[in-house]
Amino acid sequence: MKRAMLIINPSSGKEKAMKYEDEAVAILEQNHVDVTVKYTEKEGDAVRFARAACENHFNTVVAMGGDGTINEAVNGLARETERPDFGFVPLGTVNDFARALNIPMQPKKALEVLSEQHTKPVDIGRINDQYFMNVLAVGAIAEAVYDVTADQKSKFGPLAYLIEGGKALKDKTPFDLNITYDGKQWDGKAYLMLIALTNSVGGIQSFAQHAEVNDGYFHVFILREFSLPKVFKIIPDLFSGKLQNNAQVEYFPASKLKVESGHELVVNIDGDEGIHLPFEAEVMHNELNIFVPKE
């Protein structure tokens, strides 16, 4: 008897999630005898619900909500002995994880993906004792993400992050970084470090164009130099997927790394303020089976 759990954040996407509840349940009932619906009310609820689904041998977990809800569901599923197939309907502002998996931004089309019952093994990341789907960031641009308003996101899209990041970098000095990865070492000064798990960062799907959702690697970008004239040279490479070839950027892949600094720095985890450095991170290869569109 196949069972599914539907986790809904009622406040996501201007309360869009509730509009699609009946349709989501109907689609899941096509392939499941029992569908349980859970509504999040506070931080951590989606983690708890997803973990309970593992412990109670559910076959499928689907989350409807923004990036935070999806991230919580992933944290609830990761490293459990029995992990249900996972699906989600993206209702956030950026939805990088959905972009990387080619899941449609339109809720109705995203729900159709669930009816296809086609899954793909996908990597997730672990940082210390928590899990993430998309990106770790350290530096002024990472901190500036917290200042981007909903109006700016609506008006400028991914460029909103570049605008605020440029403002933040203007008066910043570089910080020292010590990175140990896969038996190698990188030491130097940096204005920004991004550790991407997928090709899409900040809504820019070409950010790490060569990254695959299950290649077993982080894609590490370090901005070593900064000046306004040089930033204008980076932007074309950023949107054409050639950032790793830019002279101002250091790039390397890594499956596992440790990051330290003499500065007081906080890592941004999937767009939210995270932990202080130092930290350790590793790729959890093929950790989740996720519903994606057929090729």
Position with higher pLDDT, 247 vs 131 = 131
Position with higher pLDDT, 121 vs 158 = 121
Span 15-35, mean pLDDT? 91
CA distance to 87, 153, 232, 251, 264, per residue, from 66 (Å) = 13, 14, 31, 30, 30
Q: Which residues pair with 185 in a beta bridge?
A: 180
Asked if pLDDT for residue 110 goes beyond 60, the answer is yes
pLDDT of residue 224: 83
Q: Which residue has the tokens 């790394």?
A: 257
Position with higher pLDDT, 69 vs 247 = 69
Residue range 226-272, pLDDT digits in tens: 665 666 556 555 555 556 666 678 899 999 999 999 999 999 998 88
pLDDT of residue 160: 53
**Which amino acid appears at position 14 of this protein?**
K
Any idea what the Cα angle at residue 43 is, between residues 289 and 12, rounded to 5°?
70
Mean pLDDT computed over every residue of the chain: 86
Task: Give the pLDDT band of residue 112 (cuts 50, 70, 90).
Answer: very high
pLDDT of residue 92: 81
Give the rounded percent of residues in the chain with a pLDDT score beyond 70: 79
Domains in the chain with CATH codes: 3-117 (3.40.50.10330), 135-286 (2.60.200.40)
